[in-house]
Amino acid sequence: MDSTWLVLLSLALGLVIGAGLVWLLYAAASKGHRATEIASPTVPDGVDQILEALPTAGIVVDPSNNVVRASAGAYNLGLVWNAALSQPRLVELVDLVRRTGDPVDEDMELARSALGDATTVQLSVRVVRLGSRYILLLADDRTEAVRLEQVRRDFVANISHELKTPIGAISVLAEALESAADDEGQVRHFAHRLTGEAARLTRLTQDIIDLSRLQSAEIVPHAERVSIDHVVASAVDQNRVLAELRHIDLATGRHSHAVVFGDESLLITAVHNLISNAVKYSPDRARVGVGTRLHDGVVEISITDQGPGIPPEDLDRVFERFYRVDQARSRATGGTGLGLAIVKHAVQNHGGEVRVWSKPGRGSTFTIRLPEAEHLVPTQLEQGERTI
């Protein structure tokens, strides 16, 4: 009997001890799970998918300002570095939203220094709470939009100035002509200057019309097969008189026999503008080279001058409307400031590009690159004939 009670007592004691161990293990596991949740907090469901779908940069920050989620755009803009916000101003905005709970919107210019890049980006930033623990930061890259707006403002200001100059000159000359009606020599003098200002106004107006037409069309209407040798020969002939007056040698290379698909008059205008610039900016008795070559299905037309060259900081801007490296010299040569912009858009509308190489004191080389018609497959030519 005593042995039976001892066995039952042992079993009961074993059950109690076992239950206690199980409870201790459960408590330890629960505590470990809670610790894991605190150490590795989970982001609300769906945030990852939202960040992937956003066209803007998106960043999720935890209470310690650690970046727990970030879109590819955030990394591309240099906003995140080593799992943290790389820009102090962004950290300040996050802290502000965490304290007040109110969303914050701000436009800012930030340097991409975290990536070792000296450039800056224009951002429109919005910072809001995400649940009770996290902060969501959205950044829209407006760099290109800001640049285009500045170009638009510059264009309006420049075109107003450019039109004002010849119109004002014409008005003054008309008054002078009227007051000098009895002096035949003065009449001829003022009439000659009046004709020159009217011609300048006509060129400017025509260039504005041409540029607007090019910018409104992505492709060339009424495209046909065009001989590059004929384009170059026509453009050279248009500049030959001015070149001969200044004893500038227009040297052309061998015929390329290349053919492109496009608008012949537009291509002649583009090449003419480049040759005209080369002649204007070259010293007397200099040499302007015009060469063509065909390589891997690409037709290249290069115009090389012996002018003053273009400073490196201006190379990226020479194709902007009304942009002039040397304002005084450009006005003296009678340029409108739209010639290179017309070249750029004319070539782009033909599916090509224009490049520039220059070194101050050694001259410049502008190269037009166009796809060769013979290099296109037959189906492309048929589509072009129907749609371009």
Mean pLDDT on 192-196: 79
Neighbouring-strand partners of residue 106: 125
Q: What is the DSSP string of 119-173?
A: -EEEEEEEEEEETTTEEEEEEEE-HHHHHHHHHHHHHHHHHHHHHHHHHHHHHHH
Q: Is the pLDDT of residue 253 over 80?
A: yes
Residue 217 has pLDDT above 60, yes or no: no
Higher pLDDT, 353 or 34: 353
Can you tell me the distance from the alpha carbon of 262 to that of 18, in angstroms, rounded to the nearest whole number? 90
Beta pairing class for 57-61 and 67-70: antiparallel
Domain coordinates in residue numbering, the chain: 47-141, 143-216, 219-387
pLDDT band at 198 (very low <50, low <70, confident <90, very high): confident
Taking domain 47-141, whether its CATH number is 3.30.450.20 is answered by yes
Ranking 108-122, 214-228, 229-243 by mean pLDDT, the lowest is 108-122
What mean pLDDT is predicted for residues 123-152?
86
pLDDT of residue 124: 92
Q: What is the pLDDT of residues 73-91, one digit of tens each?
A: 888 888 888 888 988 899 9
Q: With 70 as the cut, is the pLDDT of residue 17 above it? A: no
Average pLDDT over residues 343-362: 90
| Domain range 143-216, CATH architecture | Orthogonal Bundle (1.10)
Mean pLDDT of the chain: 78
Which fold does the domain 219-387 belong to in CATH? Heat Shock Protein 90 (3.30.565)
Mean pLDDT of 96-104: 92
Split at pLDDT 50, 70, 90, the class of 1 is very low
Burial category of 212 from C-beta neighbours within 10 Å (exposed 0-12, middle 13-18, buried 19 and up): exposed
Say if 143-216 and 219-387 have the same CATH topology: no
